Structure 1
Amino acid sequence: MSSFLLNVYKKIVSGLIIIVCIFSLFLAAGFISSSNITFFKFKVNGNIGADLFLRIISYENPLIGHALSGVNPDFSIISTGFKLITNIEMNDLRSLVRSEIPGFMSFDSNFLIADEGVDFTDIPNESAPPMDVLLQERNMAANELKELNSGNGPTGAPPSEKSVFIYHTHSWESYLPLLGLDGAENENDAVDGKTNITIVGELLGKELERRGIGATVDKTNIGQELSKKGWLSPRSYDVSRTLVKSAMAANDHLDYFIDLHRDSFRKDSTTAVINNKPYAKLVFVIGEENKNFQRNVKFANELHQFLNKNYPGISKGVLPKKGIGVDGVYNQDLSGNSLVVEVGGVDNNMKELKNTVEALAEAISQIYWKAEKVNGQ
């Protein structure tokens, strides 16, 4: 065999060996990520969450460890090493394309604390329609209005001291059934300047007051405020920030700040049936770029754990957000007891929303009165 043909042969063999090695590497990675074997007393299941760094430092900082209670504390040595070498997460296909698709990073996050079966496909999705659509005002559908007004007995005298501030940064977010648009194909039709998420805020305020907790519900039409200033919807958190700061300046007893939103997912993803009652599912969103991140996570985790203990499956979990195209703060730097709460999705109706609001109010009241008891001592 001539030297030329020999060199060609060697190059072909070398190329085939490289291809086989790469293919074998991915096969091994797939096996490791889908297995449940143990290695050096660590569970190997490829489950490297977005909280890996927090897990590591939680060994030195008990507060973070407490905030992560209820989450599987095991993490994979092999998967972690593979991620560090290749920047690929074996249980997350997004890692193969996250740096290749423009704009993908703004939607790339993971639940820090998640209910069973919840993954990145359950991450809340929000989109704002054009301003003229945002500002339209419609009355609530008659059957939904009837449901809203049913079963509302006397609440008694509301507490004089207000401790909870409820507001709505995306006040235009609504629900298709409330607008008489059940089953509409376009989720962006679920917007309105009148019949919207602020109704859920009012319900939550009343349920808290039934439990002896004073609540202020701000119903500012954020769309109108944006229009006055000539701003677009990404500036909505700048508008709501002024509302929160004004409320704090007017009342130094405010301890809890709840920013209510709704998801754009459809009914099968945002609805749960618990003890034969329908509920709109919840997601707690925390801005990773705010100084109170650890305290906010602790607060959200307490709510998540209580809710899923008493209403299994009602809470999808706690979702941290940061990065390009994401606010990353959500005004949560103003208080350690501050949350964005996604209440259901575009297809949830009034009965589902009311049931969920009652459950959320119960969870908040448990935490509130526990803190009051501790402070009283």
Structure 2
Amino acid sequence: MRNQYRGFTTVNLSRPGQRRVFVLLILGTALIFSIAGAFAMFQAKNSMQTSDLSKVTSHLSDKTLVMLIGGEVPYLQEHVQAYGIEKMVSRLIFEMATSIDFRDPRTFLGRELPLFALFDTEIDVASSDVDYTSIPIESPPPPELEKEILKGMQGSESSNDEESLPDAELRQGANTKHVLIYNTHFWESYLPELGETNPGKASDVDKNVTQISKYMAKQLEKMGVGAMTVQRKYTWNSSYAKSRKMVQSVMKQNDDLQYLIDIHRDSLPRNKTTIKGKDGKTYARLAFVVGGSSKNYEKNLKLARYLHNRVNQIFPGLSRAVVIKKRTNGNNGEYNQSLSPNSTLVEVGGVGNNFEEAYRSVDILAKVLTERVLDATPVMGQPQKP
């Protein structure tokens, strides 16, 4: 029953029916908020990757991070008190907004001069002609290719099924599969193969570095090393997180896999990525990238050094360098190399090379990797214990 009292409407809830409606209204509202909250948490859990968080924290200085953590860790609280909460908040907002650290002058120039970020990469070992202008560069595919990839993903029934096994190709020959070859940036291709001259167009959904992976797997099998390739289409955004799930799904079903090889194509021009052999033929030069933020960093670095040095023993200068990239200024810094202590990312040539030049180089790389695998694998096919 409604009553008017000094301009306000009052409702009499003394009747059972009215009380029931009021209670149901409150419960319904609470249920709606609960469902909305649960949905938001589910979305955050599935969309928020470690790599996404690292993109934020990588822009913060170590002092700022210590101050943030100090709010929860008693041992560090004295640092917060000494600095002052007002300064901490203003510093945090400034660094997140500008990605500038006053103690590192490079942060003033890195965003305006993209190639300046190359100096965040460390050259571990290199051929005599290699300097910072020869460091591997990643580049996203053109927007039109992204749209083509998305269209292909929408037409695939299993494209969003993370638990399904991706398209995996097991090579006939050796039964035990020790090597998995995949391509995080599967679209990377070579200009001569596409009839293009614009470096920004060196990408293709079908004619790309996945052919290099399949070729290398065949060569390994001929030499007695079990190998397999795997591929799935996905876009540039969070590509390493997506390829990680792809590799993990294959590893779950193949316990013998020890070596993970992620094949890429560099964005550098032909004069930086080509070398002529004694046979008069041209080869696509190699480069090995090690994730400095991986938990297996030391072991993966040891593997990359071995491959680089042995390749250059066979063909001096074929391997340009071993470079280390830590998680900073947009670098992934991990490159899925925490999945195995025998992981490496190898750049096979650049935009100006072609498949034949890449195949010639992969022949040598496969030979070197075969030596490594067979030396570490007993006759019975089981890996040696450390």
Q: Partner of 1:180 in structure 2?
A: 195
Is 1:107–2:118 an aligned residue pair?
yes
In structure 2, the CA distance between the partners of 1:100 and 1:206, relative to structure 1 (3 Å rule), is: same
Q: Partner of 1:212 in structure 2?
A: 224
Q: Partner of 2:351 in structure 1?
A: 346
Checking the alignment, whether the CA contact within 8 Å between 1:174 and 1:196 is kept in structure 2 is: yes
Checking the alignment, whether the CA contact within 8 Å between 1:110 and 1:123 is kept in structure 2 is: no
Checking the alignment, whether the CA contact within 8 Å between 2:142 and 2:201 is kept in structure 1 is: no
Is 1:248–2:251 an aligned residue pair?
yes
Q: Partner of 1:299 in structure 2?
A: 303
Distance 1:257 1:250 in 2: 15
Secondary structure at the counterpart of residue 377 of structure 2: helix
Q: Note the alpha carbon deviations across 1:63-99, whole angstroms, 9 max, x for none.
A: xxxxxxxxxxxxxxxxxxxxxxxxxxxxxxxx99624
Matches for 1:283-298 after TM superposition, within 5 Å: 283-298=287-302
Secondary structure at the counterpart of residue 289 of structure 1: coil
Distance 1:367 1:96 in 2: 41
Checking the alignment, whether the CA contact within 8 Å between 1:274 and 1:312 is kept in structure 2 is: no
Is 1:170–2:175 an aligned residue pair?
no
Checking the alignment, whether the CA contact within 8 Å between 2:118 and 2:132 is kept in structure 1 is: no
Q: Partner of 1:237 in structure 2?
A: 240
Aligned counterpart for 2:364 among listed residues 328, 338, 359? 359
Structure 1 length-normalised TM:
0.64
Distance 1:135 1:315 in 2: 35
Checking the alignment, whether the CA contact within 8 Å between 2:142 and 2:200 is kept in structure 1 is: no
Percent identity between the aligned chains?
39
Q: Partner of 1:313 in structure 2?
A: 317
Distance 1:272 1:127 in 2: 23
Q: Partner of 2:207 in structure 1?
A: 195
Q: Note the alpha carbon deviations across 1:102-130, whole angstroms, 9 max, x for none.
A: 43564322311111121111011121134
Structure 2 length-normalised TM:
0.62
Q: Give the letter aligned to residue 268 of structure 2.
A: F
* Deviation for aligned residue 1:131: 4.0
Is 1:372–2:377 an aligned residue pair?
yes
Kindly tell me the number of residue pairs found equivalent between the two proteins.
253
In structure 2, the CA distance between the partners of 1:96 and 1:236, relative to structure 1 (3 Å rule), is: closer
Distance 1:358 1:130 in 2: 30
Aligned counterpart for 2:277 among listed residues 247, 250, 274? 274
Q: Note the alpha carbon deviations across 1:117-148, whole angstroms, 9 max, x for none.
A: 211110111211344324549xxxxxxxxxxx
Aligned counterpart for 2:266 among listed residues 263, 268, 283? 263
Matches for 1:75-94 after TM superposition, within 5 Å: none
Is 1:98–2:106 an aligned residue pair?
yes
Distance 1:218 1:120 in 2: 32
* Deviation for aligned residue 1:199: 0.5
Bigger mean CA offset, 366-375 vs 196-205: 366-375
Q: Give the letter aligned to residue 321 of structure 2.
A: G
Q: Partner of 1:159 in structure 2?
A: 174
Query: Which structure's CA Rg is the greater one?
Result: 2
Q: Note the alpha carbon deviations across 1:197-231, whole angstroms, 9 max, x for none.
A: 101011111010111111110122233xxxxxxxx
Secondary structure at the counterpart of residue 216 of structure 1: strand
In structure 2, the CA distance between the partners of 1:124 and 1:376, relative to structure 1 (3 Å rule), is: closer
Dislocated runs of 4+, deviation >3 Å: 134-137, 373-377
Distance 1:107 1:367 in 2: 31
Q: Give the letter aligned to residue 107 of structure 1.
A: L
Checking the alignment, whether the CA contact within 8 Å between 2:289 and 2:345 is kept in structure 1 is: yes
Gaps of at least 5 residues in structure 2 are 1-102, 150-170
Checking the alignment, whether the CA contact within 8 Å between 2:294 and 2:338 is kept in structure 1 is: yes
Distance 2:300 2:124 in 1: 12
CA RMSD of the aligned region, Å? 2.2
Q: Give the letter aligned to residue 208 of structure 2.
A: N
Checking the alignment, whether the CA contact within 8 Å between 2:275 and 2:282 is kept in structure 1 is: yes
Secondary structure at the counterpart of residue 222 of structure 1: coil
Matches for 1:57-76 after TM superposition, within 5 Å: none
Distance 2:136 2:384 in 1: 38
Checking the alignment, whether the CA contact within 8 Å between 2:268 and 2:351 is kept in structure 1 is: yes
Checking the alignment, whether the CA contact within 8 Å between 1:258 and 1:340 is kept in structure 2 is: yes
